[in-house]
Amino acid sequence: MPAANFKIEPNILDYGQFDVWRAKGNPDSNLLSPEELDRLHAISSQNARQIFLLSRCAIISIVKYYTKNCDFISELHTHPGGKPFLINLPDLHFSLSHTGSEVALVFSRSPVGFDMEKSDRRTDFLSLAKRFFTAAELAGIVAADMDSGSSFLELWTAKEAILKLEGTGISGGLDRARILSESEGDLDGRRVHLHRIEWPGLIGKLASFEKPVAVRMRELILQ
């Protein structure tokens, strides 16, 4: 059963505003619910455990910030496709991404998808692109030549962000998420807005059906 619904504080996150939070610091496992603690303890890799803990504590802290509720206990549930959501805050949407030891989240009042990768990530991008990208997308990567690794990551993060917006993730079909320009994509004929996020060494893409009015870069340091 969901706990009582919480309210977002007025003016703290308006419709059309997207907050991009980069989370760092020392998360406290005491913040986790018993279910999340079970999940934490089931993770064998120490880095993955740390990332999980950081991301969960970040969600809890950010939700408390938006609701001004110090006693908020997050009830995280997962849609059948894998997208996590807050059951007692239907009006607050978020998307989470981690890479290496980095965790970042986007919060908004409407559905959002976010993906980030290390910009120096090396992978066999051409074979991935041949498999998952449209002919036009592939041609763009090949034309970029020396810079094709970063061109690949630009498209890849955009496609993942679109599929995370939908809630299907990569299994939804990367070919369905088409990238039309730096700021525009398409999912089965529905227009998607794209916004590029950059930190040193990291690139990210935010995808939304609603056009962003403002994208605010924020930092969360857990102590």
Ligand X SMILES: CC(C)(COP(=O)(O)OP(=O)(O)OC[C@H]1O[C@@H](n2cnc3c(N)ncnc32)[C@H](O)[C@@H]1OP(=O)(O)O)[C@@H](O)C(=O)NCCC(=O)NCCS
Contacting range for ligand X; rule: CB under 6 A; set: 24-32, 117-125, 130-138, 206-214: 117-125
Interacting span for ligand X (CB under 6 A) from 10-18, 58-66, 82-90, 130-138: 82-90
Closest CB to ligand X among residues 61, 95: 95
Residues of span 57-76 touching ligand X by CB under 6 A: none
- Pick the piece of the chain touching ligand X (CB under 6 A) from 30-38, 63-71, 156-164, 183-191: 156-164
At 104, is the secondary structure helix, strand, or coil?
Answer: strand
Structural contact between residues 104 and 21, judged by C-beta atoms closer than 8 angstroms = yes
Q: Which of 2, 82, 90, 100: binder of ligand X (CB under 6 A)?
A: 82
According to the binding rule CB under 6 A, does residue 164 interact with ligand X?
yes
The CA distance from 140 to 203, in Å, is: 18
User: What residues between 167 and 206 interact with ligand X by CB under 6 A?
Assistant: 167-170
∠208-160-217 over CA atoms, to 5°?
A: 55
Runs of H (alpha helix) within 133-168: 135-144, 148-166
Yes or no: say if 81 and 167 are a contact pair by the CB < 8 Å rule: yes
Rg of the chain on CA atoms, in Å = 18
Q: Which is nearer to ligand X, 7 or 111 (CB)?
A: 111
Distance CA 75, CA 49 (A): 19
Work out whether 108 is an interface residue with ligand X (CB under 6 A): no
Q: Within 4-33, which residues bind ligand X (CB under 6 A)?
A: none
* Identity of the residue, 164 or 195, whose beta carbon is nearer to ligand X in the bound complex: 164
- For 3, half-sphere exposure in the C-beta direction (CA atoms, 13 angstrom radius) is 12
Binding site for ligand X (CB under 6 A): 52, 55, 81-84, 95-98, 115, 117, 121, 123, 156, 160, 164, 167-170
